[in-house]
Amino acid sequence: MIKPKQTHSKKELSVKEYVSGLADGNISILGRVITLVESTRLDHQMLAQDILEQCMPTTGKSVRIGITGVPGVGKSTFIESFGKLITSLGKKVAVLAIDPSSEQGRGSILGDKTRMEALSIDPLAFIRPSPNAGSLGGVARKTRESILLCEAAGYDVIIVETVGVGQSETAVHSMVDFFLLLMLAGAGDELQGIKRGIMEMADVLTITKADGDNINKSKMAVGDYKRAIHLFPAKTNNWIPKVLTCSAYEKTGIEEIWETISSFVNHCKCNNTFEENRKKQAQFWLHESIQEQLGTYFYQKPEVKKLLPKLEKEVVEGKLSPFIAANQLIDLFKK
């Protein structure tokens, strides 16, 4: 007789077991804790927070890298080559994704692990698809906590991938040490492609697919972007963004990017901006979390739930000013 396959057979672990699993770099435990972080169940969230609280002293030691670029720029191919380079140096790399617009089953970024075939079976690598669709704030929090958990599990480099079209870049920028923008060569890209605000966030701008017939176009693009970057406001860390080229296909330029990141980290650690930036980010996320939780608490209050639709209707019909309506709701809330 064949035993039925048990899909939910995983043993419940204690906080201590989870924490020591992470400390051992147990990849399956890491995956399970991130699942808890991503869960909408309250008991899962509380468990996740307990684990996270225990882990805090062992976090913070990685280099956090944000990578973005429009669809088609070759992000997965790049991350595969880049990740393999990092593991070849004996370092552990984790790849997370942030994509608030994605829905399960609709081909979210990193949803398909097979896009990074070699990296996904590398014992020094951990790849985690984007959490399910949700508000940017929620997805950002989950990604930020996943970074901490990966650090607790001993990962030296954390890559946060995002698709370079929306608002998520700002969120990623506020949780990484270094921001890499991948771009394609070719006329008109500047207009068709990436928002200027995203370009201004980049510490390195890399032209991908700089191989074959594309080499000349790539060289021209480097010149164009160097001139463009020249006009951007200076960064507080005094780092001057670099423009590089690479080919994941010909495996060129990847090492140079890694070396540039290393010199960026040195640069920022020397002038103390590495630590300063992390502190500012932590503070930013504290107030973001407060705002998020405050909102959740407010909108769940039965009195608010009851009165809101009526006031909203009056505001929409122009009978009540938004400020006065908000005032009435807050007054009710205070009681």
Binding footprint of a second copy on the chain (CB under 8 A): 49, 52-53, 56-57, 59-60, 141, 144-145, 148, 190-192, 195-197, 227-228, 231, 278-279, 282-283, 285-286, 288-295, 297-298, 311-312, 315-316, 318-327, 329-330, 333-334
Q: Which two tokens stand for residue 38?
A: 């991503």
Closer residue to a second copy in complex, CB, 95/149: 149
* Phi then psi dihedrals of residue 281, to 5 deg: -65, -45
Give the C-alpha separation, 213 to 57, whole Å: 50
Least distance to a second copy, CB of residue 327, Å: 7
Closer residue to a second copy in complex, CB, 167/263: 167
Least distance to a second copy, CB of residue 103, Å: 20
Closer residue to a second copy in complex, CB, 61/251: 61
Matching residue, tokens 């980290």: 265
Q: Which residues, other chains included, contact 226 with Cβ-Cβ below 8 Å and sequence gap of 6+?
A: 243
Residue of 120, 90, 92 whose CA lies nearest to 25: 92
Least distance to a second copy, CB of residue 39, Å: 14
Least distance to a second copy, CB of residue 20, Å: 19
Angle between helices 15-23 and 136-152 (to 10 degrees): 70
Closer residue to a second copy in complex, CB, 77/328: 328
Closer residue to a second copy in complex, CB, 80/145: 145
Least distance to a second copy, CB of residue 317, Å: 8
Give the C-alpha separation, 220 to 215, whole Å: 9
Give the C-alpha separation, 189 to 88, whole Å: 34
Give the C-alpha separation, 81 to 115, whole Å: 12
